[in-house]
């Protein structure tokens, strides 16, 4: 599994390579995607990691740009990430509804039980 920074960089690369071909991307564009205090060297290291793990294929690179194409493993990883996000969203919506319903029902039943017990006690001792 990839960490958050690597996932963001991979997602940015996949959006740049929508047509399925090679794309020339600058490291500064990828650095903007990270939204943190990363340096260009860290972005280069992350891209090289993705190339080593066969998520991407590199045609050439220099100090400022890289020509890359996503491999099937990289595309599958992105699909898994988006599918996982959808499942989490669905789980959160369904879970919140269930939790609310169960909480409401349990509070109603516990209130009814307490009322019944108090009613019986008052009838026994004050009748």
| CA atoms within 13 A of residue 27's CA, in its CB half-sphere | 17
Paired tokens of 4 = 């958050």
Domains annotated for the chain, with CATH where assigned, are 1-127 (1.10.10.10)
Paired tokens of 32 = 């903007």
CA 60 to CA 8: how far, in whole Å? Answer: 22
**Would the CA dihedral through 6, 11, 16, 19 be positive or negative?**
positive
pLDDT digits (tens, 9 = 90+) for 37-88: 667 888 888 888 888 988 888 888 888 888 888 888 877 776 676 666 666 6
- Whole-model pTM over 0.95: no
Q: Are 7 and 81 in contact (CB under 8 A)?
A: yes
CA 59 to CA 23: how far, in whole Å? Answer: 10
pLDDT digits (tens, 9 = 90+) for 24-33: 888 888 888 7
């Amino acid at each position: 599994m990839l960490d958050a920074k690597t996932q963001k960089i991979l997602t940015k690369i996949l959006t740049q390579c929508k047509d399925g071909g090679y794309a020339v991307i600058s490291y500064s564009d990828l650095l903007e995607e990270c939204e943190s205090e990363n340096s260009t060297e860290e972005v280069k290291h992350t891209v090289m990691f993705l190339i080593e793990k066969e998520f991407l294929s590199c045609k050439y690179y220099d100090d400022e740009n890289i020509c890359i194409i996503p491999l099937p493993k990289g595309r599958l990883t992105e699909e898994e990430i988006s599918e996982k996000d959808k499942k989490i969203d669905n789980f959160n919506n369904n879970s919140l509804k269930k939790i609310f319903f169960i909480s409401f029902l349990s509070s109603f039943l516990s209130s009814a039980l307490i009322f019944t017990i108090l009613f019986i006690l008052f009838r026994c001792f004050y009748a």
